[in-house]
């Protein structure tokens, strides 16, 4: 397993739409394993394949007490409610913004064995699923943020 480089907002690949995974092969399994190690090392809430320069519809999300869920070809099938919270991104270090997201989402995806499943999450989990799936569509959270915070404003929030 390898730690992958996380690309930053200057890289035009972050704005591209990722292609679906048609076949789960050894390259996809290796990518999932490498992304897991990269996410753990970066201490993030989630990681999309595009963030490591791979334009495939794959994302990982830290879910329920530190468990990492792998999502292949994920799609949001339902959402409800609204939350308005602070959001950041491993590809945009030291930037934070306020973003409205659904309070609860249900996501349909495949696992590494090609089995389809659904998962429902609320709060931070819902936010992470939405954030990572947006990445797969070339959308960065700053596109949806209604306010970006300065370092001083961020510090005031946590005093």
Q: Kindly state whether residue 1 falls inside one of the protein's structural domains.
A: no
**Domain count along the chain:** 1
Q: Kindly state whether residue 6 falls inside one of the protein's structural domains.
A: no
Q: Kindly state whether residue 3 falls inside one of the protein's structural domains.
A: no
Determine the 3-state secondary structure of 101 from DSSP: strand
Q: Kindly state whether residue 88 falls inside one of the protein's structural domains.
A: yes
Closest Cα partner for 15 from 130, 131, 137, 97?
137
Active site annotation includes 12: no
Q: Kindly state whether residue 2 falls inside one of the protein's structural domains.
A: no
70, 132, 155, 156: the catalytic one is: 132
> Which pTM value belongs to this model?
0.94
Q: Kindly state whether residue 149 falls inside one of the protein's structural domains.
A: yes
For the segment 50-96, what is each residue's pLDDT rounded down to a tens digit? 999 999 999 999 987 779 999 999 999 999 999 999 999 999 998 99
- Rounded to whole angstroms, the Cα distance separating 124 from 104 reads 9
Q: Is 122 left (phi over 0), alpha (psi -120 to 50) or beta?
A: beta
- Report the pLDDT value the prediction gives residue 38, as an integer from 0 to 100: 97
Determine the 3-state secondary structure of 139 from DSSP: coil
Longest dimension (CA), the chain: 49
Is 18 within 8 Å of 48 (Cβ atoms)?
Answer: yes
Q: What is the CATH number of the domain that holds 69?
A: 3.90.45.10
Structure confidence at residue 151 as a pLDDT band (50, 70, 90): confident
- Structural domain harbouring 52: 12-157
Q: Kindly state whether residue 48 falls inside one of the protein's structural domains.
A: yes
- Report the pLDDT value the prediction gives residue 150, as an integer from 0 to 100: 81
User: Which H or E run contains 148?
Assistant: strand 147-149
Q: Kindly state whether residue 36 falls inside one of the protein's structural domains.
A: yes
For the segment 1-51, what is each residue's pLDDT rounded down to a tens digit? 799 999 999 999 999 999 999 999 999 999 999 999 999 999 999 999 999
Residues in the chain: 159
């Amino acid at each position: 397993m390898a730690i992958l480089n996380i690309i930053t907002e200057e890289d035009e690949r972050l704005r591209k739409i990722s292609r679906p995974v048609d076949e789960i092969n050894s390259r996809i399994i290796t990518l999932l394993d490498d992304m897991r190690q990269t996410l753990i090392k970066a201490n993030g809430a989630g990681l999309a394949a595009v963030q490591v320069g791979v334009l495939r519809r794959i994302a990982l999300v830290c879910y329920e007490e530190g468990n990492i869920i792998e999502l292949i070809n994920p799609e949001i099938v339902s959402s409800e409610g609204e939350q308005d919270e602070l959001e950041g991104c491993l590809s945009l270090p030291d930037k934070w913004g306020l973003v409205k997201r659904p309070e609860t989402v249900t996501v349909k995806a495949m696992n590494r064995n090609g089995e389809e499943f659904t998962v429902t999450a609320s709060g931070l989990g819902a936010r992470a699923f939405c954030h990572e799936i947006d990445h797969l569509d070339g959308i960065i959270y700053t596109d949806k943020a209604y306010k970006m915070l300065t370092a001083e404003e961020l510090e005031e929030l946590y005093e």
